[in-house]
Amino acid sequence: QLKNASSSSKSDGGSSSGSESSKDSSRCSTPVLDAERHERLREKMRRRQDSGDRWFSLEFFPPRTANAAVNLISRFDRMGAGGPLFIDVTWHPAGDPGSDKETSSMIIANTAVNYCGLETILHMTCCNQTKDDITGHLQKAKRLGLKNIMALRGDPAGEEWEEEVDGFNYAVDLVKHIRNEFDDYFDICVAGYPKGHPEAESYEADLKHLKEKVLAGADFIITQLFFRSETFLKFMKDCQAIGITCPIIPGIFPIQGYHSLRQLVKLSKLEVPQEIKDVIEPIKDNDAAIRNYGIELAVSMCRELLDSGVVHGLHFYTLNREVATTEVLKRLGLWKEDPRRPLPWAVSAHPKRRVEDVRPIFWASRPKSYIYRTQEWDDFPNGRWGNSSSPAFGELKDYYLFYLKSKSPREELLKMWGEELTGEESVFEVFTCYITGEPNKNGHKVTCMPWNDDPLATETNLLKEQLEKVNRRGILTINSQPNINGKPSTDPIVGWGPSGGYVFQKAYLEFFTSSEIVTALLKVLKKYESRVNYHIVNVKGQNITNAPDLQPNAVTWGIFPGREIIQPTVVDPVSFLSWKDEAFALWIEQWAKLYEEESPSRMIIQYIHDNYYLVNLVDNDFPLENCLWQVVDDTFELLNSPAQQ
Stretch of 50-58, 60-68, 331-339, 560-568 contacting its own copies, by CB under 8 A: 560-568
Stretch of 204-212, 230-238, 524-532, 596-604 contacting its own copies, by CB under 8 A: 524-532
Q: Which of 139, 263, 300, 382 binds its own copies (CB under 8 A)?
A: 382
Instruction: Please state the length of the chain.
Output: 645
- Using CB under 8 A as the binding rule, whether residue 243 contacts its own copies is answered as no
Q: Which is nearer to its own copies, 383 or 437 (CB)?
A: 383
Non-local CB neighbours of 557 within 8 Å, separated by 6+ positions: 503, 504, 565, 566, 567, 568
Beta partners for 252?
316
Strand-by-strand arrangement of the 532-538 sheet: 476-481, 507-513, 613-619, 532-538, 543-545
Question: How many residues contact its own copies, by CB under 8 A?
Answer: 48
Q: Which of 42, 46, 531, 593 binds its own copies (CB under 8 A)?
A: 531
Q: Which is nearer to its own copies, 58 or 554 (CB)?
A: 554
Query: CA–CA separation, 242 vs 223, rounded Å?
Result: 17
Q: Which of 118, 349, 554, 583 binds its own copies (CB under 8 A)?
A: 554
Q: Backbone phi, then psi, for 445, in 5-degree steps?
A: -75, 145
Query: CA–CA separation, 577 vs 39, rounded Å?
Result: 35
What residues numbered 584-623 form the site for its own copies, per CB under 8 A?
A: 618, 620-623
Q: What is the DSSP letter of 589?
A: I
Q: Which of 2, 94, 288, 643 binds its own copies (CB under 8 A)?
A: 2
- In the three-class reduction of DSSP (H, G, I as helix; E, B as strand; rest coil), residue 123 is classed as strand
Cβ 560 vs Cβ 566: under 8 Å: yes
- Minimal distance, residue 508 CB to its own copies, in Å: 13
Q: Give the H or E element holding residue 294.
A: helix 287-307
Q: Is the dihedral of CA 565, 580, 425, 617 positive or negative?
A: positive
- Using CB under 8 A as the binding rule, whether residue 502 contacts its own copies is answered as yes
Q: Which is nearer to its own copies, 56 or 534 (CB)?
A: 534
Cβ 484 vs Cβ 454: under 8 Å: no
Nearest to 261 by CA among 303, 302, 298: 298
Catalytic one among 36, 59, 356, 459?
A: 59
- Using CB under 8 A as the binding rule, whether residue 299 contacts its own copies is answered as no
Non-local CB neighbours of 630 within 8 Å, separated by 6+ positions: none
Stretch of 248-256, 427-435, 522-530, 594-602 contacting its own copies, by CB under 8 A: 522-530
Q: Which of 229, 553, 601, 626 binds its own copies (CB under 8 A)?
A: 553
Q: Is 59 a catalytic residue?
A: yes
- Minimal distance, residue 644 CB to its own copies, in Å: 19
- In the three-class reduction of DSSP (H, G, I as helix; E, B as strand; rest coil), residue 256 is classed as coil
Stretch of 229-237, 243-251, 494-502, 578-586 contacting its own copies, by CB under 8 A: 494-502
- Using CB under 8 A as the binding rule, whether residue 529 contacts its own copies is answered as yes
Q: Which is nearer to its own copies, 450 or 498 (CB)?
A: 498
- Using CB under 8 A as the binding rule, whether residue 530 contacts its own copies is answered as yes
- Using CB under 8 A as the binding rule, whether residue 575 contacts its own copies is answered as no
- Minimal distance, residue 159 CB to its own copies, in Å: 57
Q: What is the DSSP letter of 452?
A: B
The terminus-to-terminus CA distance of the chain in angstroms comes to 77
- Minimal distance, residue 553 CB to its own copies, in Å: 5
Nearest to 152 by CA among 215, 202, 194, 90: 90
- Using CB under 8 A as the binding rule, whether residue 500 contacts its own copies is answered as yes
Q: Which is nearer to its own copies, 74 or 551 (CB)?
A: 551
- Using CB under 8 A as the binding rule, whether residue 561 contacts its own copies is answered as yes
Q: Which of 76, 186, 226, 560 binds its own copies (CB under 8 A)?
A: 560
Q: Which residues of 509-520 are buried (b: 16+ CB within 10 A; e: fewer)?
A: bbbbbbeebbeb
- In the three-class reduction of DSSP (H, G, I as helix; E, B as strand; rest coil), residue 477 is classed as strand
Stretch of 231-239, 261-269, 292-300, 493-501 contacting its own copies, by CB under 8 A: 493-501
Q: Give the H or E element holding residue 524.
A: helix 515-525
Q: Which of 15, 349, 552, 627 binds its own copies (CB under 8 A)?
A: 552
Three-state SS sequence of 531-572: CEEEEEEECCCCEEECCCCCCCEEEEEEECCCCCCEEEEEEC
- Minimal distance, residue 558 CB to its own copies, in Å: 10
- Using CB under 8 A as the binding rule, whether residue 547 contacts its own copies is answered as yes
Beta partners for 251?
225, 315
Non-local CB neighbours of 434 within 8 Å, separated by 6+ positions: 446, 447, 448, 449, 452, 456
Give residue 477's Cα distance to chain centre: 24
Q: Which of 133, 333, 563, 644 binds its own copies (CB under 8 A)?
A: 563
- Using CB under 8 A as the binding rule, whether residue 386 contacts its own copies is answered as no
- Minimal distance, residue 552 CB to its own copies, in Å: 6
- In the three-class reduction of DSSP (H, G, I as helix; E, B as strand; rest coil), residue 394 is classed as coil
- Minimal distance, residue 55 CB to its own copies, in Å: 22
Query: CA–CA separation, 36 vs 46, rounded Å?
Result: 11
Q: Which is nearer to its own copies, 570 or 604 (CB)?
A: 570
Q: E strands along 312-373, which residues?
A: 313-317, 359-360
Q: Which of 273, 409, 439, 548 binds its own copies (CB under 8 A)?
A: 548
What mask, x for binding its own copies by CB under 8 A, covers residues 24 to 63? ----------xx----------------------------
Q: Are strands 532-538 and 543-545 parallel, antiparallel or unpaired?
A: antiparallel
Binding site for its own copies (CB under 8 A): 1-6, 8, 34-35, 382, 485-486, 499-502, 504, 522, 529-531, 533, 543-549, 551-554, 557, 559-565, 567, 570, 618, 620-623
- Residues marked as catalytic: 59
